A and B are shown apart, each in its own frame.
Chain A
Amino acid sequence: MSILNVAGVSKFYKDVKALDDVTFEFEKGIISFLGPSGCGKTTLLRSIAGLEVPDSGSIAIAGKVQTSISGGILVPPYAREIGFVFQNYALWPHMTVFNNVAFGLKLRKKSADEVKRKVLSALELVGLQGREQRFPSQLSGGQQQRVALARSLALEPRLILLDEPLSNLDAKLREEMRVELKKLIKQVGISALYVTHDQEEAFTISDAVVVMDAGRILQYGAPDEIYNRPAHPFVASFVGHSALVDGRVVRIEGESCLVNIPEFNGANLVSPAPRSAAAGDICKVVIRTTEVKLSPDGFPESADNVLEGMMMSREYRGGLTDHRIQIGSKELVVTSHKFCPMIRVNGDGGKTFVSIDRSAISVILAQ
């Protein structure tokens, strides 16, 4: 049985469509909702928690219907038995750490001994033993984050919802916490739904990623699938560093296809063929620019897709360098490692060869 079933959920704010017929099923594990701000991911999370009421659709947690607009069912948030970690943690400033974590346990009429035992074990789990009597304002941001997590975990929910939980932490702490967070959730063995706008966070933490934009689900799949085979131009541009150009399928050759790119002076690129592609199809071509090779002298015959361009400028970023290369009417920004041969070439404006491996290309047919 799936932990979460969402079917046909839509929500309007005045004229803005926050959620547009969202449907998905999620068995178990950690799932991330990835998208830019305003894409509807937080609204979806809050609808699952019962904090927002969608205009239509239904939501079931572990097989039990929680929201069903047509069925007239709306379980209030306090009866959904889930966990929720808010972006700003929402720790109650007038309660100690202990009382924050104990709040829900006391409501469930547990005995004082059991409350104490569960609070302490939840705090130990997040590494905050000994801080029970502190107030939230006496804790650092990272510690507040842990309290918020302990508060949700102490109730032993089947599903925990996390709304950009790491976005208030500084960059270094954020990287540490996301590894720890994943470990913790796996250790406790519950399912988690994780909202973020940071693709790296989504990829590291989750078993599956849902990419959203403008209230719609654009792609739902494993992290490597989202990265390597974006199903939608938006997914391609949002995930990873990539360039997007228009193309037209010239012919299909088994697993590969030849795509004509007018912007690259009409060059043909060999690419993996999308399913059900046919000659003449209009398509978008996604090029992952971190996987493009550069050379001042040219490439051997066996190299894929060798194009000739002009180096416009370079931006040195330390370990990496961005190269701006004009190919036809398109400027391609190629990010390369410091061992790239182009770095040693002095002066801009020189002739540059580009080789795009076919695995760095995704072709998305126009719908």
Chain B
Amino acid sequence: MPLVVSAIAAAAIITPVLVVIWRSFTTGRLGFNVGLHLTNYLRVFGDKDIMAMLGNSVVYAGGSALLGTGVGALLAWIVARTNTPGKTLVELLPLYPILMPPIMKNIAWILLLAPRSGILNGMMQQFFGIETPIFNAFSMSGMIWVFGLACVPLGYLFLLPVFLSFDPSLEESAYIAGSKPVHTMLKITFPLAVPAFLSAFVLNFLRGLRSFETPVLQGTPGNIKVFVSRVYDSMALEFNTGLATAYSVVLVALSVITLYFYVRSTRFSERYATITGKGYRVKVIDIGPWKYLTFFLVFIYFLVGIAIPFIVLIVVSMIPYFDYDTFMKFPTNAVLTNYYTVMRHPSFVTGFYNSLVLSVTIALVTVMAGIVMAFTIYRTRASGTKIFEFIGTLPLAFPPLVLSVGLVIIFLGTPLYNSLWALGIGLFVAYFPYAFRNASGSIVNIHKELDEAAWVHGARWRHVFFKITLPILKPSVGGALFYIFIEAIRNVDVAVLLTSPGKEYGPVTLFEYFRVGQWAEAAAGGVIYLVVLIAAVSVAKFAFKMKFSL
């Protein structure tokens, strides 16, 4: 029985993956294939923009990862090691990515940085008389800025434990050798944080390669093409599945190379391992008057990274329509019409309902399937189960958009096309690795003797699974359910190709609003999601005592 469940899950995952690869070697449209050849790849590599696109992808992902990981590392150091006042502003940081869906960050920053109508450019003109727009959301630096800020929490969460659990005797022995505090920091403390920094950097780089909202909402209008937006255009505009899959395969190859470096970076950090495991009392350093500078940095980050995007979204959702002058008249012109419009709009209402129902269902199904598969691999004697481990982790190398390209190709011409089932399966495939890896990590840590004791006392697999494994896994199950729910309810990149009239998905609806210029409505819809997410986090935090970290 566990074997059957695992096999079904594995089939659901491997099919779109194989379809993408197979389809990239065929031509023809809408499911008719005309033999195997390399036409698509010839077109991909014959594209004169291919080198520019490769460059853009690397610069965008690398720039964002560098900005985000760097700022995150700096904040982690300030929080862990200095006596900066107001550090608590930063300690909220892990909560921020949960509350702010990626698409809302893009919306908020486009409202601020758009070249003609953007709020900041408007202010420059009004207060300083600068006519030519300074800021441009639709530029490479605009993209790096927005996605880089989104990379900060991960950098912070990776570096904070390093600075907190730092063995103080490593610094003390440098002092005794005659090294002054600043020299010690540069020669000992920071170099020791390098492996964690590299891990966070590579992971953020991978997120940049996979990211959908920033390239499509900011890159495409500015004519800055990366692989994700090219895949999307091939599907959404040209509907050329062969071309889309060929671009996808190139993108997957890039992701796999990045993942390889991620594995390398974790190996590298093993060399840095020393005798540890003690609870150290890390010393907070009195940095004297420099603490005002670090406080200033923390405050600026809090404003720019967290407060301003929130405020802009809320204000824009409450003005009649978005332009600079209307924005500046707030709050005298505050209205709730955007909320009425959005809530009467069938595409938002159905989309909102679908996203709520689907993300709850998908969280439950994915987490259960993940546990069953991990149970099959580590706790049953079925042979050949190692293949599940590979398949269960495989989607990590596939950007979500690529998976949904595969699913579109499979569902074309079947009753599943344009159904909620298609959406559900897409989300399942995209989030399965997180559920699976979480479950295997926990199951491996449960002593096998607990199972064996049940076996020898006459239990069958279902008794072991429901009476032993599941109850012990309860705490980590809660975390995984919450994580997948939060990720699924704001998903754009899986759902965007799988929605259809009547079968909308809330975040995709906001994405469409924004693309057709209904910015104030998009902001209102976004604020509604914000309220749902805050409610979910509060329930998790206070009712289930969940702690928020990575």
Interface residues of A (CB under 8 A from B): 49-51, 76-84, 86-94, 103-104, 107-108, 135-137, 151-152, 155, 168
- Cβ–Cβ contact B173 & A86, under 8 A: yes
B192 cross-chain contacts in A, Cβ below 8 A: 92-94
Within 8 A of A (CB), among B152-196: 167, 169-170, 172-180, 183, 187-188, 191-192, 194
Residues of B within 8 A of A87 (CB): 169
Contact pick for B169, options A50, A86, A103, CB 8 Å: A86
Q: How far is the CA of A86 from the CA of B188 in the complex (A)?
A: 16
**With A86-B172, A90-B167, A92-B188 given, is the CB distance from A78 to B275 under 8 Å?**
no
> Judging by beta carbons under 8 Å apart, are B275 and A88 in contact?
yes
Residues of B within 8 A of A104 (CB): 177-179
Contacts of B167 in A (CB 8 A): 88, 90
Given the known interface contacts A107-B178, A107-B179, the answer about A84 and B271 at a Cβ–Cβ threshold of 8 Å is no
- What are 17 A-B residue pairs whose CB atoms fall within 8 Å in the complex? A49-B172, A51-B172, A76-B180, A86-B173, A88-B169, A88-B278, A89-B275, A90-B167, A92-B174, A92-B188, A93-B192, A93-B271, A94-B192, A94-B194, A103-B174, A107-B183, A137-B270
Cβ-defined contact, A155 with B274, below 8 A: no
Asked whether, in the complex, the Cβ of A137 is within 8 Å of the Cβ of B274, the reply is yes
Would you call B456 an interface residue if the criterion is a C-beta within 8 Å of the partner chain's C-beta atoms?
no
CB of A90 within 8 A of CB of B172, answer yes
Given contacts A88-B169, A90-B170, is CB(A80)–CB(B176) below 8 Å?
Answer: yes
Complex-state Cα separation, A90 to B178, whole angstroms: 15
Contact B275 A168 (CB under 8 A): yes
A82 to B274, CA, bound (A): 24
Q: Does B273 sit at the interface, judged by CB under 8 A?
A: yes
A residues less than 8 Å from B272 (CB atoms) = 93-94, 137
Task: Provide the residues of chain B in CB contact with A90, threshold 8 Å.
Answer: 167, 169-170, 172-173
Residues of A within 8 A of B275 (CB): 88-89, 168
Most A CB within 10 A of own CB, among B167, B172, B180, B188: B172
**20 other A-B residue contacts (CB within 8 Å) besides A92-B188, A151-B177:** A50-B175, A77-B175, A78-B174, A78-B178, A78-B179, A83-B176, A84-B173, A86-B169, A87-B169, A88-B167, A88-B169, A88-B275, A89-B275, A90-B169, A90-B173, A94-B272, A103-B177, A104-B179, A135-B271, A152-B176
Complex Cα distance, B191 from A144, in Å, reads 20
User: In the complex, A84 Cα to B168 Cα: how many Å?
Assistant: 14
Cα A135 to Cα B179 with chains together (Å):
21
- Which residues does chain B contribute within 8 Å of A83, judged by CB atoms? 176
Q: Check A107/B172 contact, CB under 8 A, given A93-B192, A137-B271, A168-B275.
A: no
* Cα-based distance from A92 to B173 in the complex (angstroms): 9
Residues of A with C-beta under 8 A to B187: 103
Roughly how many angstroms separate A91 CA and B173 CA in the complex, as a whole number?
8
B169 / chain A contacts, CB cutoff of 8 Å: 86-88, 90
Show the binding face of B for A, using Cβ within 8 Å: 167, 169-170, 172-180, 183, 187-188, 191-192, 194, 270-275, 278
Cα distance A135–B177 in the bound complex, in angstroms: 19
Instruction: Please state if A93 and B274 are interface contacts (CB–CB under 8 Å).
Output: yes
* Chain A residue, CB-CB nearest to B188: A92
**Minimum C-beta distance from B203 to chain A (A):** 21
Q: How far is the CB of B344 from chain A (nearest CB, A)?
A: 61
| Nearest 7 pairs of A and B residues by beta carbon | A104-B177, A90-B169, A77-B175, A90-B173, A84-B176, A86-B169, A93-B272
| Contact of B177 with A155 in the complex, beta carbons under 8 Å | yes
**Pair B178/A79 contact, Cβ less than 8 Å:** yes
B271 contacts A155, C-beta separation under 8 Å: no
Centre residue among B194, B275, B278 by max chain A CB count within 10 A: B275
A103 contacts B172, CB within 8 Å? no
Residues of chain B within 8 A (CB-CB) of A93 are 192, 271-274
- A108→B176 CA distance, assembly (Å): 12
Q: Please report the C-alpha to C-alpha distance between residue A103 and residue B270 in the assembled complex, in whole angstroms.
A: 23
With contact pairs A93-B192, A94-B192 given, residues A88 and B274 touching in the complex (Cβ less than 8 Å): yes
Task: Answer whether A136 and B274 are a contact pair too, CB < 8 Å, given A77-B172, A84-B172, A90-B170.
Answer: yes
Nearest-Cβ distance from residue A38 to partner chain B, whole angstroms: 15
**A89 vs B187: C-alpha distance in the bound complex, in angstroms?**
18
Whether the pair A51, B170 counts as a contact (CB closer than 8 A) is no
Asked if residues A155 and B172 are in contact (CB atoms below 8 Å), the reply is no
On whether the beta carbons of B177 and A78 are closer than 8 Å, the reply is: yes
Nearest A residue (CB) for B272: A93
CB distance from A45 to the nearest CB of B (A): 11
Q: Which residue of A lies closest to B274 (CB)?
A: A93
Report A-chain residues with C-beta under 8 Å of the C-beta of B178. Answer: 78-79, 81, 104, 107-108, 155
**Smallest CB gap from A138: residue in B:** B271
- The CA-CA distance from A103 to B183 in the complex, in Å, is 11
List residues of chain B with CB within 8 A of the CB of A151: 173, 177
- CA separation between A83 and B275, bound complex, in Å? 21
Question: Across the interface, do A107 and B273 meet the contact criterion of CB distance under 8 Å?
Answer: no
Chain B residues with Cβ below 8 Å from A78 are 174-180
Q: Which residue of B lies closest to A155 (CB)?
A: B177
Distance, CA A179 to CA B122, complexed state (A): 78
Complex Cα distance A94/B270, Å?
Answer: 11
User: What's the least CB distance linking B165 to chain A, in Å?
Assistant: 14
Shortest C-beta distance, B49 to chain A (Å), equals 42
Instruction: Give the CA-CA distance A103 to B176 in the complex, in Å.
Output: 11
With a cutoff of 8 Å between Cβ atoms, the chain B residues found around residue A92 in the complex are 170, 173-174, 188, 192
Residues of B within 8 A of A94 (CB): 191-192, 194, 272
Which residues does chain B contribute within 8 Å of A137, judged by CB atoms?
270-274
A87 to B270, CA, bound (A): 22
Given the complex, which residues of A lie within 8 Å of B271, measured CB to CB? 93, 135, 137
Q: How far is the CA of A345 from the CA of B307 in the complex (A)?
A: 86
Find out whether the CB atom of A107 lies under 8 angstroms from the CB atom of B191.
no
The residue of chain B having its C-beta at the shortest distance from the C-beta of A79 within the complex is B178
Quick one: which of B176, B274, B278 contacts A91, CB cutoff 8 A?
B274
Q: Which residues of A contact B177 (CB under 8 A)?
A: 78, 103-104, 107, 151, 155
Q: A50 vs B175: C-alpha distance in the bound complex, in angstroms?
A: 9
Residues of B within 8 A of A49 (CB): 172, 176
Docked complex Cα distance between A151 and B172 (Å): 13
Q: In the complex, A93 Cα to B273 Cα: how many Å? A: 7
Q: How far is the CA of A151 from the CA of B170 in the complex (A)?
A: 13
Knowing A89-B275, A93-B274, A137-B274 are in contact, say whether A76-B175 is a contact too (CB < 8 A).
yes
**Residue among A78, A82, A107 facing the most chain B CB atoms (10 A cut-off):** A78
In the complex, the answer to whether B175 meets A51 with C-beta atoms within 8 Å is yes
B179 touches A103 (CB 8 A): yes
With A and B bound together, what is the CA distance between A82 and B172 in angstroms? 12
Q: Which residue of B lies closest to A107 (CB)?
A: B178
Give bound CA distance, A79 to B275, whole Å. Answer: 28
**In the complex, what residues of B have CB within 8 A of residue A155's CB?**
177-178
Q: How far is the CB of B460 from chain A (nearest CB, A)?
A: 46
Tell me which of A79, A87, A107, A168 has the highest count of chain B C-beta atoms within 10 A of its own C-beta: A107
B172: chain A residues within 8 A (beta carbon): 49, 51, 77, 84, 86, 90
Chain B residues whose C-beta falls within 8 Å of the C-beta of A89 in the assembled complex? 275
Residue in chain B with minimal CB distance to A84:
B176
The CA of A92 and the CA of B177, in the complex, are separated in Å by: 12
**Residue with the highest number of chain A CB atoms closer than 10 Å, among B169, B179, B180, B194:** B169
What is the bound-complex CA distance between A81 and B174, given in angstroms?
A: 12
In the bound assembly, the distance between CA atoms of A182 and B175 in angstroms comes to: 25
In Å, the complex CA distance between A151 and B178 comes to 12
Nearest Cβ on chain A to B194's Cβ, whole angstroms: 7
For B283, give the chain A residue with the smallest CB separation. Answer: A51
Smallest CB–CB gap between B190 and chain A, Å? 10
User: Whole-angstrom distance between the alpha carbons of A86 and B174 in the complex?
Assistant: 12
Min distance, Cβ B280 to any Cβ of chain A, angstroms: 10
Complex-state Cα separation, A78 to B183, whole angstroms: 11
Q: CB-nearest residue of chain A relative to B177?
A: A104
The answer for the CA separation of A43 and B167 in the assembled complex, in Å, is: 17
CA gap between A91 and B170 in the complex, in Å? 7
Query: In the complex, what distance in Å separates the CA atom of A79 from the CA atom of B188?
Result: 18
* Shortest Cβ gap from B189 to chain A (Å): 10
Bound together, the chains give a CA A4 to CA B493 distance in angstroms of 70
Residues of B close to A84: CB separation below 8 A: 172-173, 176
